[in-house]
């Protein structure tokens, strides 16, 4: 593949045929039809209809949307690229999701439902009181959406189109945005979730077809390790070893001292990041809060966990195969050669997946893979756009304009999407030159510096009743300060190129970003605990129904309306219920519905939405089976 060393532009592919164009057009027509159909299913002119899809979504679109939202084009490009550069260890990011997705449905969602919230910052405000934590978390979530989600998905989607069609990177970006924004702004969460379900099917089918063809090209899985270890580019840098693939590329757990993905970081630091993403991030939690009842939320998490087992085979290993087949392009290490191949001097592993598509897929199927990447990009961006507009509207704009009516809030929610897009496009040039050309490493490293304090505060808010506002706020502030110091050092002291002296500060060179995430989470937790113990305990209203230990077992664990009436006091006649043992209450909350129904008045008939005891236990059994399968895969590839 030839390229322009100054712009990194690729020539148009002569193999993109009429059949490919037909497949792409047919997909967009179908996608638009599904979006319109989904939009008509709920009232988009109410806050509940627009932001939470009327709280009437079944388990299967929730599970598909959870998977599609996390598996955007950034992960297709990023996972395959990191797999090409370092092997299968990056699969830990996907498989670790099993446990935190189950924690989301069994632990966090009941707490969020009990507290009657719509956004994550709103939960912290109700749990701790005051508004400064809510505003801070809203702003931080929006920044993380721009720097680690929207910009990376835009860049990776545009990169894919650039490699396949030879279009300019920024032209490709604008086209991606134009297609994506239409039904997101118009349709709300319902359109996002149902189109995500369609796009999940498209992604899985296309990725499986490409994986089968890639394995067939190298003679099957049995030849993968040997061929990968011999995938060395013809142009190397003398007296260095950076052109050689990792000898432990087919091992999930790498040495603790590894500068790539050490098993200690993948076990502890990654768990911190995964808890933030799956249990406290608005994009993910908003889908679970739109469920018909808690059983649907649980089943959705189980489906998403099952789907997250697939990327190892259909994305990461094909990325490794791409390096085997095209070592000079995907595995280049010489800066001049890399600039010629992909326009980036720090490496070209990001082109592993699109390169495979262009070279292996026949006419028609190549169009299908273009559709796959479009689907991945659109599913991720639409989810982020909807959730970000929810955050800004509900947590920031309502603070600025307390008298704003529902029509104004809906207009603001649609408008903020445009602003986020513009900022994300501006950030793309910085992203292009970061993290040794590995997009996925960039995403995870930035998250490691900003997200761990949020994880610590949410864990203590849910599980420690003594945590208060002073401790949470100063824990977040000090954690942010430490994280920003490390992030600034990372950007000002990038990883040296192959063959040059590594003179980075010790904090950057010797402390892996995943290890730093675990340390930062513990530091924040210690600060929150210390300050909370030294100050007044939270008020009873800030603990009741706001923690795992204070859930009301008599309340139906199903989604409340957007505007939730206050629960009746415990001494109210309709709030009384037969006392149960703590053990029985815990079992009811985890693997069954409450045994006593409340007569708390609401604006909708919750009686029809009380989870079924039978399906609650089916969900528990499936969750246990899923964890067993996950442990087996970890053991097999460790």
**Number of domains the chain contains:** 1
Q: At residue 594, does pLDDT exceed 60?
A: no
Q: Tell me, what's the pLDDT at 440? A: 67
Question: pLDDT class for 203, splitting at 50, 70, 90?
Answer: confident
Q: What CATH number is associated with residue 100?
A: 1.20.1730.10
Which stretch of DSSP H or E encloses residue 71?
none
**CA angle 402–404–408, rounded 5-degree value:** 150
Within 8 A by CB and 6+ apart from 231, the residues are 245, 323, 324, 327, 331
pLDDT for the residue 472: 96
Residue in the structure block whose two tokens are 């702004």: 185
Rounded to an integer, the average pLDDT of 489-516 is 82
Q: How confident is the model at residue 339 (pLDDT cuts 50, 70, 90)?
A: confident
Check if the beta carbon of residue 415 is closer than 8 Å to that of residue 186.
no
Of 345, 393, 342, 520, the closest CA to residue 445 belongs to 520
Q: What are the tokens at 259? A: 């500068």
User: For the chain, what is the mean pLDDT?
Assistant: 78
In this predicted structure, the answer to whether residue 12 has a pLDDT above a threshold of 70 is no
Sequence length of the chain is 638
- Structural tokens at position 261: 């993905």
The shares of helix, strand and coil residues in the chain, as percent rounded to the nearest 5, are 70, 0, 30
Phi, psi values for residue 291, rounded to 5°:
-70, 155
- Tokens representing 487 are 């992030």
341 belongs to a structural domain? yes
Closest CA relative to residue 546, chosen from 469, 451, 453: 469
Of 177, 198, 214, 162, which Cα lies nearest the Cα of 31?
A: 198
pLDDT of residue 209: 92
Among 222-231, 314-323, 327-336, the minimum mean pLDDT is found in 327-336
Query: Is 561 inside any structural domain?
Result: no
DSSP type of residue 254: B
Angstrom distance (rounded) from CA 130 to CA 111: 19
For residue 326, give every residue at least 6 positions away whose Cβ sits within 8 Å of its Cβ, in sequence order, or none. Answer: 355, 359
Rounded Cα distance, 431 and 439, in Å:
8
436 sits in the region (left: phi over 0; alpha: psi -120 to 50; else beta) called: left
Backbone angles phi, psi at 354, to 5 degrees: -60, -35
Distance CA 252, CA 274 (A): 17
pLDDT given for residue 586 in this prediction? 47
pLDDT bin (cut points 50, 70, 90) of residue 433 is low
Q: 147 or 213: whose pLDDT is higher?
A: 213
Tell the residue number behind the tokens 């326009």, with chain if given. Answer: 343
CB contact set of 120 (below 8 Å; sequence gap of 6+): 137, 141, 280, 281, 282, 285, 458
pLDDT at 375: 67
- CB 603: neighbour CB atoms within 10 A? 12
> Which has the minimum average pLDDT: 124-128, 192-196, 512-516?
192-196
The yes-or-no verdict on residue 464 having pLDDT over 90 is: yes
In a domain, 569, yes or no: no
Is residue 554 over pLDDT 90? Answer: no
Separation of alpha carbons 172 and 142, rounded Å:
24
What number of CA atoms fall less than 13 Å from residue 5's CA on the CB side?
8
In terms of Cβ atoms closer than 10 Å to its own Cβ (0-12, 13-18, 19+), residue 207 is buried
- Closest listed residue to residue 212, CA positions, set 134, 108, 321: 321
| Strand positions, DSSP E, 507-632 | none
Whether residue 107 is predicted with pLDDT greater than 60 in this model: the reply is yes
Element (H, E) at 404: none
Give DSSP secondary structure letters for 301-328: HHHHHHHTTSHIIIIIHHHHHHHHH-HH
Query: Does residue 592 register a pLDDT over 90?
Result: no
pLDDT value, residue 461: 96
What pLDDT, on the 0 to 100 scale, is given for residue 582? Answer: 47
Q: Is residue 615 part of a domain?
A: no
pLDDT recorded at residue 344? 72
Mean pLDDT in residue range 423-435: 62
Contact between residue 254 and residue 89 where contact means Cβ atoms under 8 Å apart? yes
**Residue 560 domain flag:** no
- SS3 call for 262: strand
Q: Which of 114-123, 151-160, 166-175 is most confident?
A: 114-123
Q: What Å distances lie between residue 123 and 109, 391, 502, 546, CA to CA?
A: 11, 12, 44, 8
Distance CA 596, CA 137 (A): 36
Name the residue among 410, 24, 376 with its Cα closest to residue 189: 410
pLDDT band at 429 (very low <50, low <70, confident <90, very high): low
**Residue 486, token pair as written in the block:** 């490390």
Rounded Cα distance between 373 and 156, Å, is 9
Confidence of residue 15 (pLDDT cuts 50, 70, 90): low
> Looking at residue 595, what is its pLDDT?
37
Residue 448 lies in a domain: yes
pTM value is 0.79
**Could you give the percent of the chain with pLDDT greater than 70?**
76
φ, ψ of residue 366 to 5 degrees: the values are -65, -40
Q: What is the mean pLDDT of residues 475-499?
A: 87
Which of 172-186, 264-278, 386-400, 420-434 is predicted most confidently? Answer: 264-278
Closest CA to 355 of 63, 76, 44: 76
Q: What is the pLDDT of residue 604?
A: 40
List the structure tokens of 69. 């939202």
> Angle at which helices 120-128 and 452-463 pack, to 10 degrees?
50
Confirm whether 552 is domain-assigned.
Answer: no
d(CA 272, CA 352): 29
Give the gyration radius of the chain's Cα atoms. Answer: 24
Residue 67 has pLDDT above 80, yes or no: yes
Q: Print the domain residue range for 459.
A: 18-231+244-540+623-637
pLDDT of residue 179: 64
Q: In this structure, is residue 580 part of a structural domain?
A: no
What is the rounded distance in angstroms from the CA atom of residue 198 to the CA atom of residue 201? Answer: 5
State whether residue 10 is helix, strand or coil.
coil
The 10s digit of each residue's pLDDT in 525-536 is 999 999 999 999
Q: How far is the C-alpha of 540 from the C-alpha of 637, rounded, in Å?
A: 48
Q: Which residue has better confidence, 285 or 420?
A: 285
Residue 35, burial from CB neighbour count under 10 angstroms (0-12, 13-18, 19+): buried
Report which of residues 443 and 523 the model is more confident about: 523
């Amino acid at each position: 593949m030839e390229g322009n060393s100054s712009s990194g532009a690729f020539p148009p592919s002569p193999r993109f045929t009429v059949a490919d164009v037909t497949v792409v057009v047919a997909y967009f027509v179908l996608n638009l039809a599904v979006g319109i159909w989904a939009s008509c299913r709920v009232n988009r002119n109410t806050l509940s209809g627009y932001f939470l899809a009327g709280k009437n979504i079944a388990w299967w679109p929730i599970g598909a949307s959870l998977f599609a939202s996390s598996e955007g084009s950034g992960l297709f490009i990023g996972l395959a690229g990191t797999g090409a550069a370092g092997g299968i260890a990056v699969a830990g990011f996907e498989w670790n999701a099993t446990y935190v997705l189950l924690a989301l449905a069994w632990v966090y969602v009941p707490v969020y439902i009990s507290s009657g919230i719509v956004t994550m910052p709103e939960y912290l405000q109700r749990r701790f009181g005051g508004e400064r934590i809510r505003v801070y978390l809203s702003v931080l979530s929006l920044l993380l959406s721009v720097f680690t989600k929207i910009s990376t998905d835009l860049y990776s989607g545009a990169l894919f189109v650039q490699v396949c069609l030879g279009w300019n990177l920024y032209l490709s970006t604008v086209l991606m945005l134009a297609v994506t924004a239409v039904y997101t702004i118009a349709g709300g969460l319902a359109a996002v979730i149902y189109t995500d379900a369609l796009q999940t099917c498209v992604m899985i089918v296309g990725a499986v077809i490409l994986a089968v063809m890639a394995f067939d090209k190298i003679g099957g899985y049995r030849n993968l390790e040997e061929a990968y270890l011999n995938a060395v580019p013809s142009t190397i840098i003398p007296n260095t070893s950076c052109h050689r693939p990792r000898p432990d590329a087919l091992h999930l757990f790498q040495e603790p001292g590894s500068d790539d993905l050490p098993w200690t970081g993948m076990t502890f630091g990654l768990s911190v990041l995964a808890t933030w993403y799956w249990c406290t991030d608005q994009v993910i939690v908003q889908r679970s809060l739109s469920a018909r009842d808690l059983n649907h939320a649980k089943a959705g998490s189980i489906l998403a966990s099952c789907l997250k087992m697939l990327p190892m085979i259909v994305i990461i290993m094909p990325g490794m195969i791409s390096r085997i087949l095209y070592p000079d392009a995907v595995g280049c290490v010489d800066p001049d050669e890399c600039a010629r191949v992909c326009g980036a001097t720090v490496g070209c592993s990001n082109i592993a997946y699109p390169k495979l598509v262009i070279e292996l897929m026949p006419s028609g199927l190549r169009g299908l893979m273009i559709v796959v990447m479009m689907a991945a990009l659109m599913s991720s961006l639409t989810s982020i756009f909807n959730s970000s507009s929810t955050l800004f509207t509900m947590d920031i704009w309502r603070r600025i304009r307390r008298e704003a009516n529902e029509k104004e809030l809906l207009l603001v929610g649609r408008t903020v999407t445009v602003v986020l897009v513009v900022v994300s496009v501006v950030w793309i040039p910085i992203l292009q030159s970061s993290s040794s050309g590995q997009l996925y490493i960039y995403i995870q490293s930035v998250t490691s510096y900003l997200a761990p304090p949020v994880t610590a505060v949410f864990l203590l808010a849910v599980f420690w009743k003594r945590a208060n506002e002073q401790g949470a706020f100063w824990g977040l502030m000090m954690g942010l300060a430490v994280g920003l110091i490390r992030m600034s050092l990372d950007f000002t002291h990038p990883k040296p190129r192959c063959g040059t002296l590594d003179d980075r500060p010790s904090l950057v060179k010797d402390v892996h970003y995943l290890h730093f995430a675990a340390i930062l989470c513990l530091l924040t937790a210690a600060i929150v605990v210390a300050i909370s113990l030294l100050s007044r305990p939270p008020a009873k209203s800030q603990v009741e129904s706001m923690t795992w230990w204070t859930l009301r077992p008599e309340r139906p664990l199903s989604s409340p309306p957007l505007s939730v009436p206050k629960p009746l006091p415990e001494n109210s006649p309709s709030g009384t219920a037969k006392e149960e043992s703590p053990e029985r209450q815990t079992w009811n909350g985890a693997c069954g519905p409450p045994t006593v129904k409340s007569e708390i008045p609401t604006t909708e008939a919750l009686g029809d939405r009380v989870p079924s005891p039978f399906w609650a236990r089916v969900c528990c059994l499936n969750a246990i089976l899923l964890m067993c399968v996950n442990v087996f895969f970890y053991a097999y590839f460790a």
